[in-house]
């Protein structure tokens, strides 16, 4: 059993993907060009944002969003400690300081009610993460941001396609970002990402920043980065985007089925008005490491997203946080376990996972 069945997905779209890649090779237009422009207009249409700017990864999408907002040294950005390192890494890379606020255990996203007390005169932005494919409490977060004149950058690296009160992830804040890492809900065959905004000025700045700050050939208005998406990845994404809504429907069916099969497990709740793309199907279990080992021994692959919250990572020691500062993030890090999930998971595999999990939980408790 595969944790995420990317091989089955490739087999399903093989002819289209092979053809798209060959066309790029035949045209030898590998950087920017038609495939990238087509993808950007499809992504903007899909999310409802006025602009989609493709880029080299989800990490670079976050860095570029911060750069475009002019956030840097002396500024603070509030985010969740229970996320992939890239979220806080991007803040550090632009020279700003990360300030953490704890999560809500029901969905493992930042707990909006805790954000306001983390705001200081140095705060410039809030960066909620749409963890496991579900947006955070964006209405509350946007209202807090408006009251304090802050930008909101959605780290939507796991949530492309998710819905929040009728709006698509990427289009629920000042700037939204996503990742096209292969295992993401919409993944390419290497690294890739995108940034979304409906602010024309920010969009123009983002497009410049991701291409060495270039406004016209060899005219560099600002210091930027090489943050471009390549044409082969764009061509693959153009194919996969055509199948994406069908995949999301299958994801939703399989999620509901898991919820039913695992009714006793600590499944993550989908909030009111939200639609998750279930980037990860994660449960919370006691004796997590033992349960994972027992599952792996039964041939069920698992993963932990994430075993150590960011405030306890050595890389962020200088921020001065200690164990106990964000107890719910620490509890989640001890208990979460991601189960095999993708639109190509079979129902028979799901039954195997559910039975094995049931047994493993009982065995681990002995």
Ligand X SMILES: Cc1ncc(COP(=O)(O)O)c(C=O)c1O
Residues of this chain that bind ligand X (CB under 6 A): 57-59, 83-84, 86-87, 129, 155, 157-158, 179, 181, 191, 193
Q: How near is the Cβ of 88 to ligand X at its closest, in Å?
A: 9
CB of 125 to ligand X, least distance (A): 15
Q: Name the residue nearer to ligand X (CB basis): 86 or 345.
A: 86
Closer to ligand X by Cβ: residue 282 or 350:
282
Retrieve residue 272's tokens.
């009111």
Kindly report the number of other CB atoms within 10 A of residue 72's CB atom. 13
Closest approach of ligand X to the CB of residue 48, in Å: 21
Minimum CB distance to ligand X smaller for 9 or for 57: 57
Contact 88, 66 (CB under 8 A): no
Contact 83, 306 (CB under 8 A): yes
Shortest Å, Cβ 83 to ligand X: 5
Smallest gap from residue 147 Cβ to ligand X (A):
26
For residue 41, is the peptide bond before it cis, meaning its omega torsion is within 30 degrees of 0? no
Query: DSSP letter string over 14-65?
Result: HHHHHHHHHHHHHHT--BSSHHHHHHHHHHHHHH--SEEEEES-HHHHHHHH
Residue 219 Cβ vs ligand X, minimum distance, rounded to whole Å: 29
Is residue 298 classed exposed, middle or buried when 0-12, 13-18 and 19+ CB atoms within 10 A define those classes? Answer: middle
- Give the span between the Cα atoms of 83 and 4, in whole angstroms: 19
Given the DSSP bridges, would you call strands 274-275 and 109-110 parallel, antiparallel or unpaired? unpaired
Burial 187-217 (b: 16+ CB within 10 A, else e): bbbebbbbbbbbbeebbebbbbbbbebbeee
Residue 108 Cβ vs ligand X, minimum distance, rounded to whole Å: 11
**For residues 159 and 302, which CB has a smaller minimum distance to ligand X in the complex?**
159
Which one, 187 or 360, has the nearer CB to ligand X? 187
Structure token pair of residue 41: 């207009």
Which residue is at the shortest CB distance from ligand X? 58
What would the two tokens of residue 180 be?
Answer: 């096209």
CB of residue 56 vs ligand X: minimum separation in angstroms?
Answer: 8
**For residues 5 and 134, which CB has a smaller minimum distance to ligand X in the complex?**
134
Q: Which is nearer to ligand X, 127 or 356 (CB)?
A: 127
Q: Residue 227 or 265: which CB sits closer to ligand X?
A: 227
Alpha carbon distance 279, 129 (integer Å): 13
Residues in the chain: 366
């Amino acid at each position: 059993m595969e944790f995420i069945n990317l091989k089955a997905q490739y087999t399903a779209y093989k002819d289209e993907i092979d053809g798209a890649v060959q066309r790029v090779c035949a045209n030898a237009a590998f950087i920017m060009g038609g495939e990238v422009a087509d993808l950007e207009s499809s992504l903007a249409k899909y999310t409802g944002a006025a602009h989609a700017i493709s880029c080299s990864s989800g990490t670079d999408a976050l860095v570029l969003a911060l750069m475009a907002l002019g956030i840097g040294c002396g500024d603070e950005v509030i985010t969740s400690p229970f996320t992939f390192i890239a979220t806080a890494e991007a803040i550090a890379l632009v020279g700003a300081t990360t300030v953490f606020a704890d999560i809500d255990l029901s969905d493992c996203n930042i707990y909006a009610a805790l954000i306001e007390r983390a705001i200081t005169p140095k705060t410039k932005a809030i960066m909620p993460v749409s963890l496991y494919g579900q947006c955070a409490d964006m209405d509350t977060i946007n209202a807090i941001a408006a009251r304090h004149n802050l930008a909101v950058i959605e780290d939507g690296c796991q949530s492309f396609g998710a819905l929040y009160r009728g709006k698509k992830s990427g289009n629920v804040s000042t700037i939204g970002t996503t990742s096209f890492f292969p295992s993401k809900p919409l993944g390419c065959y290497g690294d890739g990402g995108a940034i979304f905004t409906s602010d024309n000025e920010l969009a123009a700045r983002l497009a410049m920043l991701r291409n060495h700050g270039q406004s016209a050939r060899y005219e560099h208005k600002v210091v930027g980065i090489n943050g471009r998406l390549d044409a082969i990845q764009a061509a693959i994404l153009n194919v996969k985007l055509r199948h994406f809504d069908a995949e999301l429907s299958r994801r939703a069916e399989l999620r509901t089925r898991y919820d039913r099969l695992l009714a006793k497990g600590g499944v993550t709740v989908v909030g009111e008005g939200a639609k998750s793309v279930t980037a990860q199907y994660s449960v919370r279990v006691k004796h997590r490491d033992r349960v994972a080992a027992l599952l792996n021994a039964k041939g069920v692959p698992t993963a932990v997203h994430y075993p150590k919250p960011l405030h306890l990572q050595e890389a962020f020691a200088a921020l001065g946080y200690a164990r106990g500062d964000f107890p719910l993030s620490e509890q989640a890090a001890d208990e979460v376990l991601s189960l095999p999930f993708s639109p190509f998971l079979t129902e028979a595999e799901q039954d195997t996972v559910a039975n094995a999990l049931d047994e493993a939980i009982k065995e681990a408790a002995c």
